[in-house]
Structure 1
């Protein structure tokens, strides 16, 4: 069972932040280990695992980047610790940005991130699992890795 099935949600790239807490609390109420203290050891272990999955799913669904990563993994398009090759023009732009890294770089990074998002905005915001195609998801994958790269630069600036 994947996390979307667990939460009874359609597979999407943006989880509705209004529905998520409600679903989470319903599931926690239903599968909280304290309610199964009189159950068999097997049932208790099963409920404990389910409760852990609920917490992991909630954490993923609260974070847009983790949600993208999860869907890409679910679709078999992203492996854990994958070494993704970003486009050479993007890497050249990052190399130039890195050479003159300063306080003003934050604005440049945000602009690059916004530009990268605009290329996949429609895909992310209107994603429908039934009609989704691999080409669109590969564009989202590239965006995911660009954003990760940009975040590493921002982290360096903030350190």
Structure 2
């Protein structure tokens, strides 16, 4: 029994969340272990399994990314741990963003970081808009056309997953620079470099940071860049 069957709702990339919550609360009450303390051990285990399954179902159906992945898996369009080959056109578009982030690991520029963040957000908005349209198509097209729609949804899913890695790095760079004041590379490991006036104005800080904090984020970025399917 899949999660949609458990909740008695049609398979969808955008199920009605009020109905999902209603089903979750109803099944939580129905499968509450306290109501079965006088039942056999086998029955109690069965209820516990159903309660666990209900929790997993709700966590999946109420989370957009988990939901997309689940439906694609359900239809055999995606497998767990799949290494998806992103379109070369998309990777080329990301090259400028990646290069800018690499440069900022050693030569931080607040204005450039703001531009990169805005660029990533704009790409995400376009993908979200395209994805929402495909969700509607999935509901309305003939069964024979659904496979093609799901392939497009899958492609956007992995592109957004790749963008999430970049967004995490951008957010980490902003956050940790805000805390530590990472202004760039320094002459030698363990030395520090004062924040320049531009950074002080942006973060309102006057602190120093050892270079190893900067190097950490370089290695973090390279790891996820070389492993986009993780």
- TM class by shorter chain equals over 0.9
Contact 1:17 1:62 in 2 (8 A): yes
**Structure 1 residue aligned with 2:63:** 63
TM-superposition CA deviations, 1:90-149 (whole Å, max 9, x none): 001112111113232221112112222333322213532883411100000001001111
Structure 1 consecutive aligned stretches of length 4 or more whose deviation exceeds 4 Å = none
In the alignment, is residue 44 of structure 1 matched against residue 55 of structure 2? Answer: no
Contact 2:60 2:70 in 1 (8 A): yes
**Structure 1 residue aligned with 2:163:** 150
Q: Distance in 2 between matches of 1:37 and 1:43?
A: 9
In structure 2, the CA distance between the partners of 1:49 and 1:129, relative to structure 1 (3 Å rule), is: farther
**Structure 2 residue aligned with 1:80:** 80
TM-score, normalising length from structure 1?
Answer: 0.93
State the structure with bigger RCO (CA 8 A, min sep 6), 1 or 2.
Answer: 1
Secondary structure of 2:156's match?
A: helix
Secondary structure of 1:128's match?
A: helix
Q: Distance in 1 between matches of 2:75 and 2:140?
A: 10
Contact 1:33 1:47 in 2 (8 A): yes
Please list every run of 5 or more consecutive structure 1 residues that lacks an aligned counterpart in the other structure: none
**Structure 2 residue aligned with 1:123:** 134
Contact 1:24 1:54 in 2 (8 A): yes
Tell me the C-alpha RMSD between the 2 structures. 1.6
- For the pair shown, the structure with the greater C-alpha radius of gyration is 2
Q: Distance in 2 between matches of 1:79 and 1:35?
A: 37
**Structure 2 residue aligned with 1:98:** 98
Residue range with higher mean Cα deviation, 3-12 or 124-133: 124-133
Contact 1:68 1:144 in 2 (8 A): yes
Secondary structure of 1:103's match?
A: helix
In structure 2, the CA distance between the partners of 1:131 and 1:46, relative to structure 1 (3 Å rule), is: farther
Alignment equivalent of 2:118, drawn from 94, 107, 125 = 107
